[in-house]
């Protein structure tokens, strides 16, 4: 293995860019470190593949991200109702925030983020070279990051995503230079990424290991493999590719596991049971009058806060009503069935997004007004804000009931 290099006198165009060469199991891997917002990186990729020195190409993409940068109409083919029913709203919102952030970069810098990755895939296909997408699915990365962060960390993460998404000021020179040397996902998470070791571990370090395993798996019969990756991954990827002793299959199995986050669900279930116990105790100690008063408090507060969340998203009146009805039913609702689900499904059916809403989604998601104007993004807001309101309502109702029972 050679250490990461920045080029040498007399080097060709791609060799003058940061790169590393790793030989393992009879395969020579050339890792080309690129900047996702640089025309120079596009030129380096064209020069490397055009040289004819490589018989396979790998890129820092997963199928979902490749589709996003290759097919501008991909979002227009989305079934929003399926996204809501299958519980993928949070992931869809995160992807939407990432897409809008990349669009903002493209407008300022005059080049589409990830253009060098797209060009690598295109040129490899034109020359009949095998192409491997070696990055982990962005959904898995987001899930694993959210699991490691816990509830408060997830709230900060979403706040960081939304803050970066809705920022209207241009990126400064220092931020742009940092982006050129870093990773697109890490940059999208904003300031929070800099102060969160858990996020760095999941978004950067784990993906270094994952891509090294995928490279070893995907080499096939190739003996000269060009891997186009962000410069921020170059050192870590080269190290894991050369040194990891675990089989690629074991590494992938470990890093693709995304166990369901049950801690918050169990906590909310415990709180709900505690509230029901307090209502029962109120009936026992204070009689039917106090019991009815506690039930009334529960219904009005939980239903009211869920409805306020839907109202904050400018939901359809039927959606607001559905949120108000579903909010108090938490003790008997099946897991995963939330007030936001009912309200968002009604929103998607009554105010069906038009084809133009999907086409304009990336641009509209760049501003707060756009989120409310676009029927797709407003449905997502409906789901999230209704559920946030419902969760707040459970806490407020619990405190109110406890105050009356133990006063």
| Domain of 356, in residue numbers | 263-405
Which tokens sit at 317?
Answer: 């009146």
Q: What residues contact residue 245 under an 8 Å CB cut-off, 6+ apart?
A: none
Q: Is residue 24 located within the same domain as residue 60?
A: yes
Return d(Cα 153, Cα 188) in angstroms, integer.
16
Q: Is residue 347 part of a domain?
A: yes
Q: Is residue 320 part of a domain?
A: yes
Q: Burial, 139: exposed, middle or buried (Cβ in 10 Å; 0-12, 13-18, 19+)?
A: middle
Q: Is residue 165 part of a domain?
A: yes
Arithmetic mean of pLDDT over the chain = 80
Q: What residues contact residue 296 under an 8 Å CB cut-off, 6+ apart?
A: none
Beta strands per DSSP E along 35-110: 56-59
Chain segment 19-30, per-residue pLDDT in tens: 999 999 999 999
Q: Is residue 6 part of a domain?
A: no
pLDDT confidence bin for 69, thresholds 50/70/90? confident
**Final residue belonging to a domain, choices 223, 256, 289:** 256
DSSP notation for 152-180:
HHHHHHHHHHHHHHH--SPPPHHHHHHHH
Would the pTM of this model clear 0.95, i.e. be above it? no
Q: Is residue 303 located within the same domain as residue 206?
A: no
What mean pLDDT is predicted for residues 221-239? 91
Q: Is residue 310 located within the same domain as residue 291?
A: yes
Chain segment 249-301, per-residue pLDDT in tens: 999 999 988 765 545 566 667 777 888 888 888 777 778 888 888 888 899 99
Q: Is residue 179 located within the same domain as residue 144?
A: yes
Q: Is residue 101 located within the same domain as residue 195?
A: yes
Number of domains in the chain: 2
* Exposure b/e, 209-226, CB count within 10 A at least 16 = b: bbbbbbbbebbeebeebb
What mean pLDDT is predicted for residues 52-58? 94
Q: Is residue 2 part of a domain?
A: no
């Amino acid at each position: 293995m050679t250490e990461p290099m920045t080029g040498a006198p007399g080097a060709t165009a791609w060799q003058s860019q940061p790169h590393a060469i790793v030989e393992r199991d009879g395969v020579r891997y050339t890792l080309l470190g690129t900047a996702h917002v640089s025309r120079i990186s596009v030129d380096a990729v064209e020069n490397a593949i055009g040289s004819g020195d490589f018989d396979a190409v790998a890129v820092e993409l997963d199928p979902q991200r490749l589709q996003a940068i290759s097919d501008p109409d991909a979002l227009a083919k989305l079934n929003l109702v399926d996204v809501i029913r299958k519980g993928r709203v949070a992931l869809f919102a995160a992807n939407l925030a990432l897409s809008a952030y990349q669009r903002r970069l493209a407008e300022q810098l005059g080049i589409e983020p990830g253009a060098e990755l797209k060009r690598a895939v295109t040129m490899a296909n034109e020359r009949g070279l095998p192409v491997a997408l070696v990055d982990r699915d962005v959904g898995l990365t987001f899930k694993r990051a959210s699991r490691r962060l816990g509830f408060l960390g997830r709230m900060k993460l979403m706040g960081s995503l939304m803050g970066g998404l809705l920022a209207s000021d241009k990126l400064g020179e220092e931020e742009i230079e940092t982006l050129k040397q870093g990773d697109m996902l890490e940059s999208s998470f904003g300031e929070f990424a800099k102060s969160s070791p858990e996020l760095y571990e999941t978004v950067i370090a784990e993906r270094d290991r994952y891509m090294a395993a995928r490279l070893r798996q995907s080499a096939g019969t190739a003996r000269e493999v060009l891997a186009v990756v962000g410069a921020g991954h170059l050192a870590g990827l080269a190290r894991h590719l050369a040194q990891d002793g675990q089989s690629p299959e074991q590494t992938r199995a470990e890093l693709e596991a995304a166990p369901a986050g049950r801690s918050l669900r169990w906590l909310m279930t415990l709180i709900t049971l505690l509230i029901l116990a307090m209502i029962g105790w109120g009936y026992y100690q204070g009689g039917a009058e106090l019991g009815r008063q506690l039930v009334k408090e529960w219904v009005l507060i939980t239903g009211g806060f869920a409805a306020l969340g839907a109202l904050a998203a400018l939901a359809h009146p039927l959606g607001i009503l559905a949120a108000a009805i579903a909010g108090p039913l938490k003790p008997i609702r099946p897991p995963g069935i939330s007030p936001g689900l009912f309200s968002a499904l009604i929103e998607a059916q009554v105010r069906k997004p038009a084809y133009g809403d999907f086409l304009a989604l990336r641009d509209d998601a760049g501003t707060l007004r756009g989120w409310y104007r676009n029927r797709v993004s407003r449905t997502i807001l409906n789901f999230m804000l209704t559920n946030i309101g419902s969760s707040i309502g459970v806490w407020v109702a619990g405190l109110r009931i406890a105050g009356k029972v133990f006063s």
